[in-house]
Structure 1
């Protein structure tokens, strides 16, 4: 699913009016009616007090349309105009006149914090104070109104975005944005819904189709894309009846040091479980027996050194190399990596201490082959690119970093984001159970195993991040968040693959009913 910028939403709005030969007022009526339909389908006439807070721009106009429809359908509605400026949009004024024609209970004008209405916990708040066009700090008394919303503990529905939330920068203050229980976002979700600093402002979100010009939405190139099952299904490479292991490549996992052989074991097992035909682990001698015993399906090559990697002497011809897990940063390991990168001709996936070495010796970044995949956690990322002032600044810095070295970077988090060629691929799977030792090693192995099978590095990364999160989602059904191990994620990778072709439960019920009828 595409995630549109503010400018693209404005363009979609203008093109829709032009191509569908309608007025901006007609489009506002459509938007407000769709919001009403969404609410009406869920409330079914329930007489719960609904407090609608309208701004004085187009977002407020949409909510005036909503208020009018709720009133004419007999709902208990109270409408307020949040008068933060003397300016009014044309369509707001048109709908302000229209609502006065259907009720004697005209909207209440709010001009300061002295007259905020009483809102009970069982009431409903509709927040339409600001839309995506906000470009200045929220005035103090409006911030106090948002605090009033929070204090009421009422269910809060935000229209398009939680009021006060920018689409391209973090808010000035934590309380200057509405805390929405649910946000109905026009056409597509907003990037801000997926970033740590801004995702906190909406518990849930949904997309509302208000009839924007579909040709434009389909053709426009977006900076960000949301990755769910429908997107990764197009990446999946099926196997034929006569497939054999030689067709699915040979993954080499290089890493490990004394006390950290488990990282290589996890990555190697994940590569196999992701579908690599063969996997070899290159480790120090101390890990030979442990790895051979714990993962008999993998082959093992040992370094001449007992406790850490001191040279990388490869006599096999791998399809891809996953490098860095548990490797340590001994000076001889750093020297070995330097020598290796200068002659390496294989695709790379780099994690953990591989990243730490790169951050300490940034000249090595120039030796990475095109589309090398880096999978840093937040601290590793900071060591690579430096600090950032907010999540949007972080994205800009990662895009610049990835472009400079022509590499792929995974920003790991609740919504892991793959960055390549100035584009963001935002993952939708995963859960807090992944905040556990070894889950990053597993991701490294999965991506390595996918590249081994012939997925190009970007496909492998986007698909691998999805599978990693989906396996964790399925596994938590048995283990919960707190008891999830990284090895459980590997155990459920098969279930994640199977889930790609599983119909939603609602579709299965419909199919069952049709089969019964036939």
Structure 2
């Protein structure tokens, strides 16, 4: 799914109005009607008090359309206008007049000096105060109103974006943002729904189709894409009936040190479990018996040193290499990695201590093959690119770093973000159960195993992150968040593959129609 920028959404609105020969007021009617349909399907006429707070711009106009439909369908609605300025949008004024024609209970105009309306915890708040166009700090009274929303503990539904939240920059005051239980977003979700510092402002979100021009939606190129089943399925390579292990690649996992052979074992198991034909593990001598006994499917090559990697000499030609997990940062290990990188031309996935070695010796970055994949956790990323001020600064610095070195960077987190060539790919699978030792080693193995089978590095990374999270989502149904361990992720990879081909059940929805041309 494409994640459109603020500017692209405005452009889409304009193109839609021109090509469909409708007015901006008609498009607002569509948006408000879709929000009504969403609420009506769930409430089915329930007489819970609904408090709709409207700004005086287009987001407020959407709220007025919603209020009108709710009123005409018999709901218990209280409508308020945040009347702190005289700069009302044209479409807001049109819908302000329309709502006065369907009820004697006109919207209450709230000046920025009045007390707040009384709201009970069982009520519903609809936030239609500010949209994506907000470009300035909000007034103190409005900030206090948002804090009042939160204090009531009432369910809060935001229209398009929680008011006070910017779609393209960080916020400075968390009290100046609506904390929404649900956000109904037009055209696409907003990037801020997935970033650690701003995701908390909406517990859930859903995209509403408001009929934007299909050609625009299809052809517009975005800097951000949301990755789910529909995005990865077209890239799936089915297994041929006559295929054999030699056609599915030979993966090499390099890592481990005394007491940390488990990291290599997990990565190797994941590599083979995701579909690689062969996997070899290169480890210190101390890893030979643990690997041979715990994972007999792997072939094992050992270093001359008992406890750490001191040289990497191979008599095989691997298809792809996963490197770094559990390796440590001993001087001899760093030297061995440097010598190996000087001659290596094979695609690579680098994790853990491999990243730490690169952070300490950034000249080694110039030795990496094109589109090498780095999979850092937040602290490893900080060592690599330096400190950042906020999530947007982090993304910009990561994009610049990845672009400079022609690499792919996986920013691991609740919504893992893949960065390559100035573009972001935001993953939607995964859960807090992944916060466990070894899950990163499994991810490295999964991506390595996909490259082994012929997936190009970017596709392998996107697909691998998706499968990693989906496997955990399926496993957590049996284990819960606390008891999920890295091995379970490997065990459920087959279920994650099978899930790609399951068709979701489609709910039957009865909607209220809105023909924009009838509103002219």
Deviates more, 1:167-176 or 1:450-459: 167-176
Q: What secondary structure is seen at the aligned counterpart in 2 of 1:234?
A: helix
Figure out how many residues of one structure are paired with residues of the other and give that number. 507
Shift of 1:114: 3.3
Q: How far did 1:417 drift? A: 0.6
The 5 Å alignment of 1:172-191 reads 172-191=172-191
Query: Residue in 1 aligned with 2:411?
Result: 411
Unaligned runs of 5+ in 1: 508-518
Work out whether 1:381 is the aligned partner of 2:378.
no
Q: Name the structure 2 match of 1:62.
A: 62
Secondary structure of the residue aligned to 2:280 is strand
Q: After TM superposition, give the deviation of residue 112 of structure 1 in Å.
A: 2.4
Match of 2:465 in 1: 465
Larger mean Cα displacement after TM superposition, 37-46 or 228-237: 37-46
Contact 1:113/1:145 (8 A) holds in 2: no
**Secondary structure at 1:495's aligned position in 2?**
helix
Distance 1:83 1:5 in 2: 28
* 1:320-359 equivalences in 2 (<5 Å): 320-359=320-359
| Aligned residue number for residue 512 of structure 1 | none
1:105 equivalent in structure 2: 105
Spell out the pairing of 1:54-453 with structure 2 (5 A cutoff).
Answer: 54-112=54-112, 114-453=114-453
Instruction: Find the aligned partners of 1:113 and 1:188 in 2 and give their Cα distance.
Output: 36
1:22 aligns with 2:22: yes
For residues 86 and 336 of structure 1, what CA distance do their matches in structure 2 show? 69
Distance in 2 (CA, whole Å) between partners of 1:103 and 1:90 is 21
Q: Deviations over 1:189-231 (max 9, x none)?
A: 1111111111100111011111111110100000011111111
1:497 and 2:497 correspond: yes
Deviation at 1:483, TM superposition (A): 0.5
Q: For the Cα contact (< 8 Å) 1:113–1:144, is it kept in 2?
A: no
2-side partners of 1:272 and 1:427: how far apart?
23
Q: TM-score, normalised by structure 2?
A: 0.96
Q: Do 1:321 and 1:346's aligned partners in 2 also have CA atoms closer than 8 Å?
A: yes
Deviation of the 1:44 alpha carbon? 1.4
1:2 aligns with 2
Q: Secondary structure at the match of 1:279?
A: strand
In structure 1, the residue corresponding to 2:235 is in which secondary structure?
A: coil
Q: Deviations along 1:468-497, whole A, 9 cap, x unmatched?
A: 001101111111000011011001111111
Query: 1:474-513 alignment to 2 at 5 Å?
Result: 474-506=474-506
**Separation in 2, partners of 1:184, 1:113:** 30
1:398 is paired with a residue of what secondary structure? helix
Deviation at 1:83, TM superposition (A): 2.1
Equivalent residue of 2:53, what SS?
A: strand
Summarize deviations over 1:118-146 as a string: whole Å, max 9, x none.
00011111100000001111211111101
**1:308-340 Cα deviation digits (max 9, x unpaired):** 000111210000000000000000111111111
Q: Where does the alignment leave 5 or more consecutive residues of structure 2 unmatched?
A: 508-520
What is the root-mean-square deviation of aligned Cα atoms in Å? 0.9
Report if aligned partners of 1:169, 1:390 keep a CA contact under 8 Å in 2.
Answer: no
Instruction: Return the alpha-carbon distance in structure 2 between the equivalents of residues 476 and 316 of structure 1.
Output: 38
Once the 2 structures are TM-superposed, how far is the Cα of residue 505 of structure 1 from its aligned partner? 4.3
Report SS of the residue matched to 1:158: strand
TM superposition shift of 1:179: 0.6
1:397 is displaced (CA, Å) by 0.7
CA gap of 1:111–1:370, structure 2 versus 1, over 3 A, is same
1:451, 1:308 → 2: CA distance? 27
User: Higher relative contact order at CA 8 Å, sep ≥6: structure 1 or structure 2?
Assistant: 2
Alpha-carbon separation, structure 2, partners of 1:439 and 1:46: 45
1:232/1:327 CA distance change after superposition, 3 Å: same
Which residue is 1:515 aligned to? Answer: none
Greater shift, 69-78 or 193-202, is seen at: 69-78
For 2:206 and 2:316, locate their aligned partners in 1 and report how far apart those are by CA, in whole Å: 50
Higher alpha-carbon deviation: 401-410 or 43-52: 43-52
Alpha-carbon shift at residue 84 of structure 1 (Å): 3.1
| SS of 1:164 mapped into structure 2 | coil
- Counterpart Cα distance in 1 of 2:413 and 2:210: 32
| Structure 1: distance between partners of 2:427 and 2:6 | 21
Query: Which 4+ stretches in 1 moved above 6 angstroms?
Result: none
In 1: Cα distance, 2:167 partner to 2:449 partner: 36
Distance 2:128 2:72 in 1: 20
Which stretch of the first structure deviates more once superposed, 231-240 or 373-382?
231-240
Confirm or deny: 8 A CA contact 1:399 1:419 kept in the other structure: yes
Contact 1:410 1:416 in 2 (8 A): yes
Deviates more, 1:409-418 or 1:72-81: 72-81
TM-score (norm 1): 0.97
Shift of 1:113: 5.3
Q: Distance in 1 between matches of 2:281 and 2:112?
A: 67
CA distance in 1, matches of 2:323, 2:89: 57
Report SS of the residue matched to 2:300: strand
Deviation at 1:43, TM superposition (A): 1.3
